[in-house]
Amino acid sequence: MKHTVFVDGQEGTTGLRIHEYLAARPDIEVLRIAPELRKDSAERARLLNAADVAFLCLPDAAAIEAAALVTNPRTCLIDASTAHRIHPDWRFGLPELAAGQREALRASKRIANPGCHASAFILLARPLVDAGLIAPEQALNATSITGYSGGGKKMIEQYEAGGDTKLLSPRPYGLSLAHKHIPEMMVQSGLLTKPVFMPIVANFYKGLAVTIPLHLQDAGDAGRIHAAWQRHYEGERFVRVMPLDDAATLADGFFDVQACNDTNHVDLFVFRHGAQALLMARLDNLGKGASGAAVQCMNLHLGCDEGLGL
């Protein structure tokens, strides 16, 4: 039996990538809206309610509006916007988050897909909060460097047009210290103190790495952090805990932000020196950071193999 899927916002970066994932799936029938009806509420409502799973690849306000159009109790919504990521009635779409998360995603009809920066930060921090290695009250700092595809179609066009010398160097942003991913970073990591977070966009298409610097109580804490990740992610196919002080990275001297591109993998690293450590996570911001995560959640919800098509 085929499952029916509709992508509301099929022309955006995330929506297009979801279509690419689903194109080779014989078990999926993709419902498509005629281009001239993309903003027609009645047609969108018809397709949303006809789908077993509907992806909302829309701005926040439009995603809230789309969710209100769904009256079919069988339709599962997977929202790629920020609108529902800390909403109590929506499940956070990160299967690796904690024990019981997969069961919750299988049962839920409302799934909020994580943000790309947030996914990397949470996968680093949540196991350490759960293990008592980071206190919920601890004030963390984090930076994230990402490819320009995370900015959507307008930013992609801006970079690929060329001719603007400002785009040749990395550009820190979110300088208001109110980036839209911060609420989910706190709630889903179990943190009570708002982290200081600075994202940076750079002149490459995709790939993302989040870094959390830590002052350790003693040098052994780095090993305990690494061991906590190994316990938490044991058996996970998409989260890879890399060797402590990863020899290949240290030998090269530079961190490859793009090494997880075109996969659904996340790589976690801890580098240490004395009482200091760097915790790092990398992923494909269009894969595990967006569309890949959404398809992974769809697979879980439908009872398919979690990695099907990924």
Cβ neighbours around 185 below 10 Å, total: 28
Q: Is 29 exposed, middle or buried (0-12, 13-18, 19+ CB in 10 A)?
A: middle
83 vs 58: CA distance, rounded Å: 10
262 vs 25: CA distance, rounded Å: 18
116 catalytically annotated: yes
Helical ranges in 162-270 per DSSP H: 182-189, 221-232, 247-252
53 vs 71: CA distance, rounded Å: 13
The residue from 76, 116, 260, 297 that is catalytic is 116
Q: What angle do CA 248, 150, 270 make, to 5 degrees?
A: 30
Catalytic residues: 116
